[in-house]
């Protein structure tokens, strides 16, 4: 079953993306782990680590900056809910939270989504710098002081 909260969502998404059907606009209910009327939480289809979760607004929007205040609130509510669930089930040591907003930032699906990535001691030899490693030549800021 495809979401029924916004009946015309599939067509809106097809129009917005032109050549592709958005995988987030056609999610089946069986993939949904958490939900509000404005957003859903699903397991990432290509997880970086066990428990990698995506928080996705139901409305097809390309950028985080296009979300309404209520949609941002729903996304944050589901981030909190997913974090509590993952902490209980998988007991990660930390989390990386990220959004690739736009093609230059690596966004491959033009429907905004937030990554909640559980992190575990030893999953990277030296995690210092965290998200700064998306631009490796800029990551090691502490050595350039």
* Strand pairing class (114-119; 94-98): antiparallel
- Active site includes 115? no
Structure tokens at 31: 């993939």
Which of the residues 60, 111, 113, 115 is marked catalytic?
113
Q: Find out whether 107 and 100 touch, Cβ atoms under 8 Å.
A: yes
Cβ 64 vs Cβ 47: under 8 Å: no
Three-state DSSP at 40 gives strand
Residues marked active site are found at 113
């Amino acid at each position: 079953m495809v979401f029924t909260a916004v009946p015309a969502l599939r067509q809106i998404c097809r129009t917005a993306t032109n050549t592709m059907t958005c995988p987030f606009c056609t999610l089946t209910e069986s993939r949904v782990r958490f939900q509000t009327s404005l957003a859903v939480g699903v397991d990432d289809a290509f997880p970086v680590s066990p428990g990698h979760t995506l928080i996705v607004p139901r409305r097809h929007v390309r950028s985080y900056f296009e979300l309404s205040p209520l949609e941002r609130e729903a996304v944050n509510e589901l981030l909190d809910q997913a974090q509590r669930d993952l902490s209980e089930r998988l007991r990660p040591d930390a989390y990386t939270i990220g959004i690739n907003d736009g093609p230059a930032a690596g966004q491959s699906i033009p429907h905004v989504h937030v990554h909640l990535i559980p992190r575990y001691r030893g999953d990277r030899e030296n995690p210092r710098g965290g998200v700064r490693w998306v631009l490796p030549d800029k990551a090691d800021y502490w050595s350039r002081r």
